[in-house]
Structure 1
Amino acid sequence: MDERAFLEFHAASASGHATTSASYSAPAATLNWISPPVGYHKVNCDAALEIEVQKEGLGFIFRDHRGYQVRQASTPHHFRSAVQGEAIAIRCALIEVVAAGFTKLQVESDCKEVIGCIHDQNQHPPYEFSTIISDIRRLSSFFAFNSFQCIPRAMNGISDGLARKTLSIMCMTDCPNSTLWLHDLCESEALGCTYTVLQ
C-alpha cells in the first residue's frame, strides 16, 4: 500500500496535474520548503476533488523545525467545490493541532482565496465556506502564535499527494511516522531539495 501511494504521488507530481483549480501557481522559479523556527510546527494542507467520480478528500502533514513529520493524514471528506475543500483541509488540520497541544504554528496552503479570507477580517467570504473561515479564525485563538501563508503549488507536494490518496480509499488513513516513502520525501524537502515550477 505504501509503495503504491509513493508511486501515485510521484506520478501526480511528474504530470504537473493540479489538485484543484483553486491552487496558486508561481511563475517559473526554483522553490524550497522552508522549515519553521525551533519550537514551532508547520502544517501543509490540501484538498483533492475528482468531479467525474464524485470523490473528494483532504491531506495534511505536520512537521517540526528539522522537517520531520509529526503527524499526517489522508481523509475522505465531502465538499462542493475546490475552494471549500481547501478551507475544510485547514480547519481539520487546526483541530488536529489543537488536540496535539502545539502552541506555535505556521499553516501553508496553495489556495490564495482561502488564505486571503483568513487574513482579511473585514472581508465577507463566499457563503459556501464563510462558516469554515469563522471556525478557522476561532481555532486560531488557541495558539500562542500562528501564521497563514499561501505558497506555490509545487511547495505543497506532500500534502497534495496525501489528499490525492483519499480518492482511492474509503476511510481516514493516518500514516505512521515510520512510513519510509513519506519520511524520505520530508527529508528531501528539509535538506533543500528544490522543485522547478513551470506554468
Structure 2
Amino acid sequence: MLSGERTSCKSRVFLGLAGTLSRKGYSKGSVNIVADLFDHQRNGWNLQLVQSLFNPIQAKEILSIPIASSGFVDSLVWHFERNGRYSIRLGYKLLVNLERRVIRDDQSTNSYFFPPRLWVKTWGLQIQPKIKVFLWKAIFNALLVKENLLKQGINIDLVCSICNKAIELVEQALFLCDHVKAIWFSSPCSYKPNHAIWKERNKVVLEHKQPDPLVVSKHIAFFLMEQQQEPPLAVASQSIPMQKQFPSRWELPPVGILKLNCDTSWKLDVDLTAIAVIARNSNGILMHGIAERVYCSCPLAGEAQAMLEALRFAAAMGISSFIIKTDSATVYSAMVNSHKDVDWEIQATINLMRYLVPFFGQVHFSLVNRGANSVADIVAKLCLKNLLPCNWLVDTPAEILNFLYSDALVAL
C-alpha cells in the first residue's frame, strides 16, 4: 500500500518488485518517485505509462498494488503475515521452520518437522471427526496427492492439476498452489490446512470442474461463522442500528434508502478482476449499476475495491443515506471494526473508505449470504467473461433479469 510520495522508483523496495525502468523513462527525468506513475485525477495508476516502462508481468504486479489517497504515507509489509507486520519473533519462527525442512526418504513422513506430541493434540481437537482425520493426514503426509500415489506404484504425472507449475506435494495442494494462495488471501481464517481446499482440489482432479478460489474462501467464511454460533456485527457510521441476523436472501431496503450490493469475480488465468455494484430502491427496482474490470492482486482486494466503488457511486450521485451489502466477511469486518488488524492487501482501500464514510449521512454496512448477493455476483461474472453488453442497464440481459425478478418476488 502506498502514496508513492516517499518511495523512489530506483529504490530496492520498489525495484525488488518491479525490476528496472527503461532507460528512456529515466533519461526524460519524468519518473523519479513512484507517485510519478500515478494518474492523480483518477486516483489510480497511469496505465499507459506503467505499461510503457515495464514488461507485461511487472506491469500487472504494479497495477495490482493498492494506492492510498493523499494523507497516507508509504508503508512496507511483511507478506508472510496477513497484517503485514514484521517482528523478530515471527522472523525467527520463519527461519526455524525453514531449517527444519528435511530431505524426504523412505522413513520420512513429511517434508517438515512436527513435534511427536502434535498428533495427540490433533486427535484432542473438538471438531468433526472427518475434519480431524483430514488434519492428521495433512500433517503426516497421508493425503493422496500425486507424489504419494507415485510412491504407491501408480504411474502418474506429478505436476499439480490446478496450476501446472510444480510437483503436487501436500504443501503444494494446501498452501503453495496459486489457486490455494488466492483462497488464503481472500479467506478470514488463519493459515491452516482447510478441508474445503482439499475438497475443491478433488473436484478439479476427479470431476474436471473449473477451480474458483473466491467461492471456496466464501464457503470457509460462512463455515467459520456457523462454528462461532454468533450473529455477525453490523454497524454503520452514525445512527444506523446493528443488524440482528445474517440475511440469506435479498431484502427490500426501507423507503427512501438505496441498497448497494457489491461483489467481484476473479480468475487466476485472467489479468483483470471484475467488480460490480447494483443499486436498487425500496421497490426492488434496479436504479443503477457499475461493472468494470480492474487490476487486483487477489479476490480479497477485488471485494474491497467493489465496496469502494459503491461509496464513490453514492458520492457522485449525491446520496447521503444508503445500505452497502457484501458477502466478504473480511472486508465487512474491517469496515465495522476500526480496531481490528486489516490484511495488508486491502489496507489502503479500507483506509480510504473509512475516510469517506463520515462525509455521508447514514451508511449501513451489512454482511450477507452469497444467495442474497446473486445479482452483483452474476453481473461481475459476465463482466469478467466480456459477456456484459455496454447497455446492460437499459437492455438488461436475461441472466440478470432472472435474478432481479427472483429477488423481488422473495422480498415481497
d(CA) in 2 for partners of 1:38 and 1:170?
A: 33
Q: Tell me the residue number matched to 2:367.
A: 150
Matched residue type, 1:111:
S
Letter in 1 for 2:376: S
Query: Where do residues 116-127 of structure 1 align in structure 2 (5 Å cutoff)?
Result: 116-127=333-344
State the Cα distance separating 1:57 from its structure 2 match: 1.0
Contact kept? 1:74, 1:162, Cα under 8 Å? yes
2:273–2:293: 8 Å Cα contact kept in structure 1? yes
Please say which of residues 184-193 and 95-104 is displaced more in the overlay.
Answer: 184-193
With the length of structure 1 as denominator, give the TM-score of the two structures: 0.78
- What amino acid is aligned across from residue 409 of structure 2 in structure 1? L
Q: TM-score, normalization: structure 2?
A: 0.40
Indicate the SS of the match to 2:384.
helix
Once the 2 structures are TM-superposed, how far is the Cα of residue 180 of structure 1 from its aligned partner?
Answer: 5.9
Q: Secondary structure at the match of 2:377?
A: helix
Q: Which residue of 2 aligns with 1:70?
A: 287
Instruction: Tell me how far apart the structure 2 counterparts of residues 82 and 124 of structure 1 sit (CA, whole Å).
Output: 19
CA distance in 2 between counterparts of 1:116 and 1:67 reads 26
SS in 2 for 1:39: coil
Shift of residue 146, structure 1, vs aligned partner: 0.8
Partner residue of 1:83 out of 300, 311, 322: 300
CA offsets 1:33-58 (integer angstroms, 9 cap, x no match): 11110010000000111102333110
CA separation of 1:49/1:180 partners in 2, compared to 1, >3 Å: closer, same or farther? closer
Q: How do 1:1-199 and structure 2 match up within 5 A?
A: 20=214, 21-23=216-218, 24-25=221-222, 31-169=248-386, 173=390, 175-179=392-396, 181=398, 182-192=400-410
Equivalent pairs, count:
178
Q: 1:180 to 1:172 in 2, by over 3 A?
A: closer
Q: What is the distance in 1 between the residues matched to 2:395 and 2:387? A: 22
The amino acid of 2:408's aligned partner reads: A
What's the offset of the Cα at 1:142? 2.5
Q: Structure 1 residues 77 and 94, CA, compared in 2 at 3 Å: closer, same or farther?
A: same
In our comparison, the structure showing a higher alpha carbon Rg is 2
**Greater RCO structure (CA 8 Å; 6+ sep):** 1
Question: Matched residues, percent identical?
Answer: 22
Of residues 171-180 and 43-52 in structure 1, the stretch that sits farther from structure 2 once superposed is 171-180
Structure 2 CA distance for partners of 1:19 and 1:147, relative to 1, 3 Å = farther
TM-superposed CA distance for 1:168, in Å, is: 2.2
TM-superposed deviation, 1:179: 2.1
**SS of the residue 1:128 aligns to:** coil
Q: Which runs of 5+ in 2 are unaligned?
A: 1-208, 227-246
Q: What RMSD over aligned residues (CA atoms) do the two structures have, in Å?
A: 2.9
